[in-house]
Amino acid sequence: MSVVTVEPDSLVTTDFISEIVKQMRALDSQGIYDNQSVERLLAPFVINKQQRRQIPVIGDPSREIVSRLQVFYNAIAILIEKQCGLMAVPMINLTHEGFGRVIITVGKLLVLDRTLRDAHRFGFISLEKMQTEADQLLAVALALIGKYPEVANL
């Protein structure tokens, strides 16, 4: 596993990356991540093109990959809560083959609905791409909450 090089003043200080780090540390019941650097914790989220080519097209996601999926969408849900003040609940349904769906609800409002394919290949080309993806998902979710506040408050 390669270690991601991150400028301390760049992405690490964003709310999303900070939340990813918090979520990764929260999943660690053994204390393994306590002394690891932020770069080391973020490294599994980055898969360059060469690494992706080495991953078979068909495969079953490991527990670690499923945990990273959960961390990614939990972080988005937390940011939704911070922005709108309403509880956001992520739900992931994933088959052993890596296909499924993730949804995030706020009240009775569905603010995120993504189909998951090839979950065993989950990752981003860079942290910047991961941040951009999260920002886009967050913007759509917040726009839906703004458009349908009465449903979000149910």
Region of 123 on the Ramachandran plot (φ > 0 left; ψ -120 to 50 alpha; else beta): left
Average pLDDT of the residues of the chain: 88
pLDDT of residue 8: 46
**9-23, 93-107, 129-143: which has the minimum mean pLDDT?**
9-23
Give burial (CB, 10 Å; 0-12/13-18/19+) of 73.
buried
Domains, the chain, ranges and CATH? 11-152 (1.10.3100.20)
